[in-house]
Structure 1
Amino acid sequence: MTVVTERRRLPASGARGTGSGILRRGAVALAGAGIIVWSGVASAATGGYADLVDKVAPSVVAVFTTQARPATEAGPSPFGPGRPFEDFARRFGIPVPQLGPQNQGPAHALGSGFVIDPSGYVVTNNHVVDGATEVKIKLADAEEYPATVIGTDPETDLALLKVSAPKPLPAATFGSSASLRVGDEVIAVGNPFGLGGTVTAGIVSARGRAIDNGPYVDFIQTDAAINRGNSGGPLFDTDGQVVGVNSAILSPNGGSVGVGFAIPSDTVKAVIAQLKDSGQVERGWLGVSVQPVTPEIAAAIGLEDRNGALVAQVVPGGPSDGHLRPGDVIRSVGGKTVESVRELPKLIAASQIGQTAEIGLIRDGRPLDVAVEIGRREPKTAGLTPGGGKSERTAALGRLGVTVAPVTDEVRSSLGLDESAQGAVVTSLKPDGAAAKAGLVTGDVIERINGRVVRAPRDLEAAVHDAGNPSVLVLINRRGSTLFVGIRLADA
C-alpha cells in the first residue's frame, strides 16, 4: 500500500482521463435470479446533498499548473549509429536518429482548491503548485484567471494563491475540525482527472491519523472518494463549512479505495493566516531531538506509564542548552499535557517565538519544571552510514546480541562523527538478538548504558555485566544524532 498525494499530471497530449463501468450509490444490480440493492449514504431526513452542493460548489476551483521540464537524454534507438539495426535503417530509408538532449516541452498538472475570501484568496496543496512556472484557476462558472502564489508551507502541504477577478468571488467558510466525530457525514468537492465540479460523499472514518507526512498534521481519514486531481480541494461538513483539505490517499493502484486523508481545518486556518500575513510560516523550536517512551525505556528509568517525549539529544547552543538534558521525559508544555512524542512538535511549533514556556518533565525519577525560551525552527536533516572495524565479542555482549569495536579515527571519518566521539561501534548484530529487536543497526556507536560512560568496548561489557535490571537504557550516536534505546537483555 502506498500513500499518494493527488496532483494529477496530464499526458503530453493534454487529454483528460475518463472513467467507465461506474456503479453508483443507490444502483441496482441483478445477481442470478436475485436482486442486490445498494442503499444510498445520504440521510433520509435531508433528502440527499443537492441543497448542500448548490451552496458550496461555487467556491471550489480547479487549479491548472505548468512546470518547466528540463531537457533529457533521449534513450538509445535500435536504428541509431552503432546499433543492431543501423544497416537495416539505411537500406530501407529509415531516418537515423541523432541522439542527444531532447527538450520535451513544459509539463502540465492539475489539482483543486477553494476560495476563502471574495477578494480572490484561494487555498490549495503545496504539492499542486510546487515548481510551477504558471498557475491558473477555473471557477465553477468556467471563468479562468491567472493566479499568483502568495506563500507555501511544505511542512503541512498547504499553499495560498491570489487571483485578480473583476468581481467578488464566492467564498467558503471554515468550520472547526476539532468538533468532528467519527461517523459524521462529509462531502468532497474537486477536480479529479480534470473533470471538474465532482462531488463525492462519505463519513469521517478516523481522526488523528499519522501518514509519515511530517509532525505537524494529524489527518482526518474519510471514505469519500478522493482521486488524482482532488488534491487541495475542500472537505465539507453537512453545514457547508470546510473541515479539511483533501491531500492524499492510501491505495495499492493509485485510485480511490475509500481511504483518503484531509488536513484538518484548524491546522489550515493557522497556517493560511501566516501565509496571508507574511508569505511564510514560522514555527517555534525547542532545540532537542525526542523519541517515544517505549515499554522497555519506561521500565529502564522507572516510569509507571509511557506518557511524554524522551529527550535524546540537546542541540548545543539551542534554546534548551543548559536547561534540558538527554534522558529527560517531557510531560507538559505551558500546562498542556504531552501524552505522546507526536504532540510535542505541534505544541512547540505553535508557541510564540521568544516566549518563555514552562516545560514539565521527569528527571532521574523526579518531577521538575524548567523555563525555556522558544527559539525559531530551522530545517534539519540527518542520515545513517554503517561503519566497520575490528570486532570484539564477549559473553556479556552476547546478552545484547552484538559485536563491537573501538571508535577509531577511521570509524569517526566513516560515520561522520566529531573528533571527540567515543564509545563502542556496533559491527554486527544477531538477527533475533536483544539489540536488533530494539532497533540498533550496524554503525551505531554506544556512548552510555544506564548512565555509565562507554569509552571502549570493555566499558560496555562491564556495564552489561553489572546491570541489575533486565532492561537497560542505552544512549547511541547514529552519525551525529543521539537517541536513547531501551533494551531488554537476553538471559545470561
Structure 2
Amino acid sequence: MIKSIKKTIPIFLIGFLMFSFSVSAELPDFTKLVEEHSAAVVNISTKKTAKSAKKFPQELFGEGERNEMLDELMKRFLDKDGGGFPNDNDTSSLGSGFIVSKDGYVVTNYHVIAEADEIIVKLNDRRELSAKLVGSDKRSDVALLKIEADNLPVLETGSSEDLKVGEWVIAIGSPFGFDHSVTAGIVSAKGRSLPSENYVPFIQTDVAINPGNSGGPLFNLKGKVVGINSQIFSRTGGFMGVSFAIPVDVAKRVIEQLKENGKVSRGWLGVYIQEVTRELALSFGLSSPRGALIVEVIKDGPAMGVLKQGDIVLEFNGKKIKNASALPVIVGSTELNKDVEITVRRGGKTEVLTLQLSELPSDDLAKAPVKKESKPKKIDNFMGMELSNLDDTAKESLDVENGVMVKRVIKDPARSAGVERGDILLMFNGENIDDLEHFHELTENIEEGKTYALLVLRSGAARFLAIKIDKK
C-alpha cells in the first residue's frame, strides 16, 4: 500500500505542474500595452475659485504704521494680490483623461471638470498645459478639452459593441493623484443601466477604479480604448469590485457632436416606461418578459396620438428592445425628424407604428405634484381594496381625467400585487377606469387564476402592477 502511494505522488506532482503552467501561460502580459499607450493618458486637475473674498480693511492703518509682524501676517493670510482674506470655499479636483488627436483634443468625464474655472492637463513628459473646455455633456458624463500642443501621442478607439463579458481589460489613470497607475480585470457585464443615467448602457468591470481614475481610458488587449472609466459602486468611497465605464461607441457620438456644435442633441420619444416583469408579461399575453412598457405618454410629445398607455415596445427602428433600459439608449442615438418604425404589443396583437422623434429637452419634464384629494364616498371591493371616486377637484389636482382612489389595502390580491394606499387606479386590463361603477363592470367577469395588468398613479408617476386573481 505504501509503495502504491509512492508511485502516485510523482504523477500527481507532474499533473499539478502542468496545470499550473497552462494557467500561467494563459494570463495576459500587459507590459507592452502599457509601454505603448500610457504616454497618451493625462492627469487633469481643476480649480474653482470662490467669488466672495473679503477685502482687508487697508484704511485702518496709516502710512508707516505697518511693522514686520503685520507684513508677515498679511503674506500668510491674505490672497496673492494682498487685497483680501483667503476663501475656504475654493475647491480643486483631480481626474484622468486621454488624448484623441495630435493637435490636442482631450477626453475626460463631465464630473471631473464641472463648474471649473481653471483646467490643467499634465502630460506624460511633465508638461502642464492650460485646457479650454470645448463642450460637455452631463447625461453621458463626457467632456471634450483642447490644449495648445502639436505631435501629441494619440489613443486609438475600438468598439465597445464587440466587447465580450469575461474579456480582459485594463485601466490607466491617476487614482488619488498617483499618475499612470495601471489596474486590470475583466468585463463583468454590459448594458448596465444606472439610476443616475438612462442614456448610457454602462460597461461593468472588476477593474480597480478609485477617485482620480475618472475620465481615464479602459483598454482591451489590442490596446484600443473601449470605454471611459466613470463610476464605482462603493459603500466606503473606495473600490469594491464593481466599476462602470462609458462605452466608447456612445462616447464617440458625443465627442463628434461636442466638437462640431459644443453640445449634444438626442432623440426624445416623450413617454415614461417601466420594466416588463414575468407577471406583467403574462397579463399582456407575452410568452416571456421583454420590451418596454409605456405607463404614460407625455402631452404634446412626439409619441402623443401614436403610442398609448399599456403599449409594450418590442422593436424600435429595427432594433429589438430586450428590456426597458435599452429603449432610452436607442432612442437617444436615433436621428431626429425622420420616420421611425416602432413595433408594439397592443391589445393582444402586434402592430407597427410610425412617428418622428423630437430633440430631448435640456431638462427632464417635471411631473405635477400630487395634492390632497377630497373624501368622497367609500366602497369595498372584492379585490382587497377600499376605493372611492374622484371628484372634479381631485381630478384637477392630480391632472387626471378618470380613475378611482385606493383608500385602504385590506387583503390579497391587491396586497400581493403591491397596491398601496393613495394609489389612483387608472386602467384595468387595457381599459381606462372611469369611476367605481365602471371599475366593477370591468372586473365583473374576470377569471380566477388569471393575471391582469393594473395601471396606477403613485406620487405623480404612473406604473403597471400585475394583479393575480386567486379567488372571486
Per the normalisation by structure 2, the TM-score is 0.81
Contact persistence 2:376–2:391 (CA under 8 A): no
Largest Rg, 1 or 2: 2
> Which of 6, 9, 31 is the equivalent residue of 1:50?
31
Tell me which residue corresponds to 1:107: 91
Q: What pairs with 1:217-296 in structure 2 (closer than 5 Å)? A: 217-296=200-279
Tell me which residue corresponds to 2:454: 474
Q: What pairs with 1:11-30 in structure 2 (closer than 5 Å)? A: none
User: Offset at 1:138?
Assistant: 0.6
Pair 1:343 & 2:322 matched: no
Tell me which residue corresponds to 1:380: 364
Tell me which residue corresponds to 1:201: 184
Contact persistence 1:200–1:225 (CA under 8 A): yes
> Which of 32, 46, 49 is the equivalent residue of 1:65?
46
**d(CA) in 2 for partners of 1:308, 1:317:** 24
Contact persistence 1:71–1:102 (CA under 8 A): no
User: Offset at 1:68?
Assistant: 4.0
The 1:389/1:461 distance shift into structure 2, 3 A limit, reads: farther
Task: Name the amino acid aligned to 1:252.
Answer: R
Tell me which residue corresponds to 1:455: 434
Tell me which residue corresponds to 1:427: 407
Tell me which residue corresponds to 1:147: 131
Tell me which residue corresponds to 2:394: 411
The 1:267/1:422 distance shift into structure 2, 3 A limit, reads: same
Task: Name the amino acid aligned to 2:224.
Answer: Q
User: Offset at 1:387?
Assistant: 4.3
User: Offset at 1:105?
Assistant: 3.5
Contact persistence 1:389–1:405 (CA under 8 A): no
User: Offset at 1:393?
Assistant: 5.6
Tell me which residue corresponds to 1:85: none
Tell me which residue corresponds to 1:125: 109
User: Offset at 1:189?
Assistant: 0.6
| Greater Cα offset, 212-221 or 184-193 | 212-221
Deviations 1:370-399 (A, max 9, x none): 1111221113244564745537665525x2
Give unpaired runs (5+ residues) of structure 1: 1-38, 73-100
**d(CA) in 2 for partners of 1:454, 1:164:** 64
Contact persistence 1:67–1:132 (CA under 8 A): yes
Tell me which residue corresponds to 2:122: 138
Contact persistence 2:160–2:227 (CA under 8 A): yes
Tell me which residue corresponds to 1:491: 471
**d(CA) in 2 for partners of 1:373, 1:255:** 44
**d(CA) in 2 for partners of 1:43, 1:122:** 37
Contact persistence 1:210–1:219 (CA under 8 A): yes
Q: What pairs with 1:147-186 in structure 2 (closer than 5 Å)? A: 147-165=131-149, 167-186=150-169
Deviations 1:11-34 (A, max 9, x none): xxxxxxxxxxxxxxxxxxxxxxxx
User: Offset at 1:462?
Assistant: 4.4
User: Offset at 1:188?
Assistant: 0.8
**d(CA) in 2 for partners of 1:321, 1:473:** 22
> Which of 280, 291, 300 is the equivalent residue of 1:308?
291
The 1:381/1:478 distance shift into structure 2, 3 A limit, reads: farther
The 1:454/1:55 distance shift into structure 2, 3 A limit, reads: same
The 1:102/1:273 distance shift into structure 2, 3 A limit, reads: same
Pair 1:390 & 2:370 matched: no
The 1:337/1:251 distance shift into structure 2, 3 A limit, reads: same
**d(CA) in 2 for partners of 1:255, 1:424:** 48
**d(CA) in 1 for partners of 2:30, 2:266:** 39
The RMSD of aligned alpha carbons is 2.8
**d(CA) in 2 for partners of 1:71, 1:440:** 51
Q: Higher relative contact order by CA 8 Å / sep ≥ 6: 1 or 2?
A: 1
Give unpaired runs (5+ residues) of structure 2: 1-19, 54-84
Deviations 1:205-224 (A, max 9, x none): 22222332322222222222
Q: Secondary structure at the match of 1:253?
A: coil
**d(CA) in 2 for partners of 1:449, 1:102:** 63
User: Offset at 1:193?
Assistant: 0.7
Task: Name the amino acid aligned to 2:436.
Answer: P
**d(CA) in 2 for partners of 1:251, 1:318:** 38
| Greater Cα offset, 239-248 or 250-259 | 250-259
**d(CA) in 2 for partners of 1:472, 1:68:** 58
**d(CA) in 2 for partners of 1:312, 1:296:** 16
Task: Name the amino acid aligned to 1:468.
Answer: E
Contact persistence 1:387–1:425 (CA under 8 A): no
Contact persistence 2:134–2:262 (CA under 8 A): yes
**d(CA) in 1 for partners of 2:132, 2:417:** 49
Contact persistence 2:370–2:398 (CA under 8 A): no
Question: Number of aligned pairs?
Answer: 418
The 1:192/1:471 distance shift into structure 2, 3 A limit, reads: same
| Greater Cα offset, 378-387 or 257-266 | 378-387
**d(CA) in 1 for partners of 2:377, 2:323:** 38
| Greater Cα offset, 433-442 or 175-184 | 433-442
**d(CA) in 2 for partners of 1:485, 1:45:** 49
Q: Secondary structure at the match of 1:117?
A: coil
User: Offset at 1:103?
Assistant: 4.5
**d(CA) in 2 for partners of 1:211, 1:270:** 20
> Which of 398, 405, 423 is the equivalent residue of 1:444?
423
Q: Which structure has greater helix proportion?
A: 2
Q: Secondary structure at the match of 1:297?
A: helix
**d(CA) in 1 for partners of 2:225, 2:219:** 5
The 1:45/1:446 distance shift into structure 2, 3 A limit, reads: closer
The 1:478/1:395 distance shift into structure 2, 3 A limit, reads: closer
User: Offset at 1:57?
Assistant: 0.7
**d(CA) in 1 for partners of 2:373, 2:247:** 46
Pair 1:334 & 2:317 matched: yes
Per the normalisation by structure 1, the TM-score is 0.77
Deviations 1:80-114 (A, max 9, x none): xxxxxxxxxxxxxxxxxxxxx99424111111111
Pair 1:318 & 2:311 matched: no
Q: Secondary structure at the match of 1:251?
A: coil
Task: Name the amino acid aligned to 2:254.
Answer: V
**d(CA) in 1 for partners of 2:364, 2:261:** 22
Task: Name the amino acid aligned to 2:375.
Answer: K
